[in-house]
Amino acid sequence: MALTEQTRAEAVELAGRYPQGRSALLPMLHLVQSAEGTVTPDGIALCADVVGLTTAEVAAVATFYTMFKRHKVGRYHVGVCTNTMCAVLGGDAIWSALSERLGIGHDEVTEDGAVSLERIECQAACTHAPVMTANWEFLDDMDVARALEVVEKLRAGEEVFSSRGPRIGTYEEIERSLAGVEEDGLAEAAATDAKMLAGLTYAREHAMAAPPAPETSPLATKAEG
């Protein structure tokens, strides 16, 4: 794959959505990844040219966020949370099983280019631990058997759906949706569920509320003003 005039036109359109074009840099980097599979020097140069930044400034952003890759990933990039909450509930076992089945480790890709693996520190979804993602779509409340089944289906080209609704597209498809140039079905997906709202539900059922701010608090002073 390579950057094309269509890629440039889409990048220009993204920049035009914002009062300042540089605000489009993050979606633009996802666009580059959708076209080339990774953030390449050519992709960095395109972004810099469109938004009026230096290549060094664009590279600084691309190397800061872990979703932007400087190496190739598979058609399905699978992330396994191995942070404390997920790890103790099965995340470590899931990682070991997938790594053994696929014959790859962290930031490595299967020989057929179908799947890559990444150990992720946190998916920000502890209510559904242990959590995996496939091309950034959530797979909640996983176990070893389900994780292996999902990966085998993806490798075979079978249709797999995220726990939260959308079909798990290829890396190229999902990157285009993250760039904002194509829809991914999330608009129709439920934003929350009972597990996510458990704390709020408990608080309401027990008439719990945050204590008022002390009179000396800047928040209290602002409220009085």
The CA distance from 24 to 190, in Å, is 27
So what's the pLDDT on residue 184?
62
**Please, are residues 134 and 142 in contact by the beta-carbon 8 Å criterion?**
no
So what's the pLDDT on residue 191?
64
The tens digit of pLDDT for each residue in 128-176 reads 999 999 999 999 999 999 999 999 999 999 999 998 888 899 999 999 9
Give the E-state strand segments of the chain in sequence order.
76-81, 108-109, 115-120, 132-134, 137-139
Tokens, residue 104? 């790859």
Taking residues 10-35, what's their average pLDDT?
95
So what's the pLDDT on residue 161?
92
- Fold of the domain spanning 5-64: Arc Repressor Mutant, subunit A (1.10.10)
So what's the pLDDT on residue 123?
87
So what's the pLDDT on residue 197?
74
The tens digit of pLDDT for each residue in 77-87 reads 999 999 998 99
Torsion of CA 118, 124, 127, 130, to 10 degrees: 10
Pairing mode, strands 115-120 and 76-81: parallel
The tens digit of pLDDT for each residue in 103-129 reads 999 999 999 999 999 999 888 888 899
The CA distance from 106 to 134, in Å, is 14
Map residue 134 onto helix, strand or coil.
Answer: strand
For the chain, give every domain's residue range: 5-64, 76-169
Percentage helix, strand, coil for the chain under 3-state DSSP, each rounded to 5: 50, 10, 40
Taking residues 72-76, what's their average pLDDT?
94
Taking residues 197-215, what's their average pLDDT?
80
The chain-wide mean pLDDT, for the chain, equals 89
The CA distance from 81 to 95, in Å, is 8
- Fold of the domain spanning 76-169: Glutaredoxin (3.40.30)
So what's the pLDDT on residue 185?
60
- The dihedral built from the CA positions of residue 155, 1, 162 and 160, taken in this order, carries a sign that is negative
For residue 205, what is the DSSP state?
A: H
Q: What angle do CA 195, 77, 165 make, to 5 degrees?
A: 40
So what's the pLDDT on residue 192?
67
pTM of the model: 0.83
Confidence of residue 26 (pLDDT cuts 50, 70, 90): very high
So what's the pLDDT on residue 189?
60
Three-state SS string over 175-203 comes to HHHHHCCCCCCHHHCCCCCCCCCHHHHHH
The tens digit of pLDDT for each residue in 34-68 reads 999 999 999 999 999 999 999 999 999 999 999 99
Q: What are phi and psi of 211, to 5 degrees?
A: -65, 155
Residue 184 CA, chain-centre distance (Å), reads 13
For residue 212, what is the DSSP state?
A: P
